[in-house]
Amino acid sequence: MAAGRFMLEKAIDYPESTLKDVSSETDERILIEEAKRDRRRFGELYELHFERVYAFIGRRVRDRAAAQDLTADVFRKALEGLDRFEWRGAPFSTWLFRIASNAIANDRQRAARETTGSDLDAEKGSAPGVGDSIENRAALYRFVRDLPDDQRRVIQLRFAEEKGIAEIAEAIGRTEGAVKQLQYRAIQSLRERMGERNG
Cα distances (angstroms) measured from residue 146 to each of 47, 123, 152, 184? 60, 20, 8, 16
CA nearest to 155, candidates 183, 180, 190, 118: 183
Residues in CB range of 179: below 8 A, 6 or more apart = 154, 165, 168, 169, 172
pTM: 0.48
Q: Would you state the pLDDT for residue 55?
A: 92
Q: What is the pLDDT along the chain (199 residues), one digit of tens a residue?
A: 333 333 333 333 444 433 344 446 678 888 889 999 998 888 899 999 999 999 999 999 888 888 999 999 999 999 999 988 887 878 888 899 999 999 998 888 887 777 665 555 555 444 444 444 677 777 777 888 889 989 888 888 887 778 888 889 888 898 988 888 888 888 888 888 887 777 6
Residues in CB range of 19: below 8 A, 6 or more apart = 52, 93
- 60 and 24 both lie in a single domain: yes
- Tell whether 119 is covered by a domain: no
End-to-end CA distance of the chain: 66
Q: Specify the DSSP element, H or E, that contains 138.
A: helix 134-146
Q: Structurally, how many domains does the chain consist of?
A: 2
- Tell whether 117 is covered by a domain: no
User: What residues make up the domain containing 63?
Assistant: 2-108
Are the C-beta atoms of 125 and 78 separated by less than 8 Å? no
- 100 and 10 both lie in a single domain: yes
